[in-house]
Amino acid sequence: MKHFRTCFAIIAILWVFFLTTPTALADTSGSILSTKPVAVQRSEVIEDVVVVGNNAEVSGDVYEVLIVVNGNVHLKSTARVGVLVDLGGTIQKEPGAHVNAEYTVSSRFQFWNSVLLGAGMVLMVWAVRVVLSVALLLIPVLLAFVLRKWIERPTNIIVESVRQSGLVGFLASVGVIVVSGALAVTIIGIPVSAVILGCYAVVGVVGWSAVCLWLGEIVSRAFNQGGRAKWFQCSIGATILMAFVNVPIVGPIFLFLLWMVGVGGITIWMWQWFQNRQRNKPRTR
């Protein structure tokens, strides 16, 4: 749980950096996200604190994560902090202050602090892209191997009409966003919204596998390798698509369009399966 909150706080840093909002935000869970100086008083108990471009002074308890970017941290003797991360600043601790884990990256010169911070952001983005690329390559191959003949059905639907699959996928995606957003407004609807989004993610991943198989079959037939195993053909398509997706600017657009095609192929197949089941269902008098 602690590692999850640490990752969440780091993502929040990126969000603040690129939006550069000048105000401080606090949510109902007791977390603080600010670009102004933050002071946690002795009697305060805060879950997470993220400060960008300013200093933080803690006399109370930050029991999860305290992250300060381009700012200094001053811990009073009564301070209690779970995980402390300071990027581009200094940490001053008075005797009695307690920190479970402490991480700092700083230099005596502000220029090098900015360089280190920028390099860290670049490495983080690069790492995310590497993980995404590996996932886009391995997951389709694994699904094609496990599902085998089942994955051929939505693939055939995509082959019949790529445009129709893309349109249906776009409409289905919009519908999911609208419904899940409406449900998320209420506390009772939040779990239902999460389930809907989870199901949509599963449909999207399987649809992406179908798209990879579709492209892999085209390439395999072009080189007279149409009889190869489905997982092998899927690996060819996934490799080609992964290369295109990593192209700047064009790549995300390409990924979005193919994701819509995959979602549409699965949606059409599910609808056809439902209709066939209704037709074959015995009628009771």
**pLDDT for the residue numbered 16:** 43
- What does the pLDDT read at residue 211? 93
pLDDT for position 33: 85
User: In terms of DSSP bridges, do strands 32-34 and 25-26 run parallel, antiparallel, or are they unpaired?
Assistant: antiparallel
Model pTM above 0.75: no
Indicate whether 7 pLDDT > 50. no
Distance (Å, rounded) from C-alpha 216 to C-alpha 132?
Answer: 20
Band of residue 89 on the pLDDT scale cut at 50, 70, 90 = confident
Average pLDDT, the chain: 81
Top-confidence range, 104-118, 170-184, 213-227: 170-184
Among candidates 8, 21, 82, 83, which has minimal Cα distance to 52? 21
Instruction: Report long-range pairs for 114-121 (Cβ below 8 Å, ≥24 apart).
Output: 114/70, 114/88, 116/87, 116/88, 117/69, 117/70, 117/87, 117/88, 120/87, 121/14, 121/17
What pLDDT is recorded for position 133?
A: 81
The pLDDT tens digits of the residues spanning 54-82 come to 899 999 999 888 988 878 899 999 999 99
